[in-house]
Structure 1
């Protein structure tokens, strides 16, 4: 390759790197409970508008119980929603899997139609008969 071609290639690479945009995360995350190897995963998407969100339990049936959850809500490129565990009695230290609270101001575009992705981790508590 000629020296001119090498210089043009190097210049093009530098310009591309200078124009690269590093992604900004506009997603809120929360993990509750535990993630185990012995699990059954359920992924569900709920359209929510912030505030308290009730999460349906897709794990707990005879022989299984809910042991952990992972929540993700995104509002790109407007705002990063904040997801926190909903209030529970200070005496009860077990995770409140049924409710989370999402903070995303209603005056920001997209906050009234957030997609909340929920992954539930289920553990087998009894063996097959």
Structure 2
């Protein structure tokens, strides 16, 4: 149940995160209609580059059928590998280039740093 709490907390590493935890990054972008095609091309090139990064597990991106909202979801083996991708030079440069082109009334939103449990892996004792 969602409101059940474990009896004990997991051991934490030096950053205060649970050991052996994958990380999911969830990003939301609002892209102007005139920039949709170029944004999609850039998303595809970043997707291909991400697949070559250490710690990459999977990623998916897609556009809302209703508005210019895009979501990018990716899973990483560790927090450090996820952060390294965020600051990979090509990725960082492209991100900076796009910032002024987002729909300013609805800025890019970043909801990363989400430790989670993979359904196909054995559950850690503290998640049961």
TM-score, scaled relative to structure 1: 0.31
State the TM-score, normalizing by the size of structure 2. Answer: 0.31
Look at both structures and tell me which one has the larger radius of gyration over its CA atoms. Answer: 1
Structure with the higher helix share, 1 or 2: 2
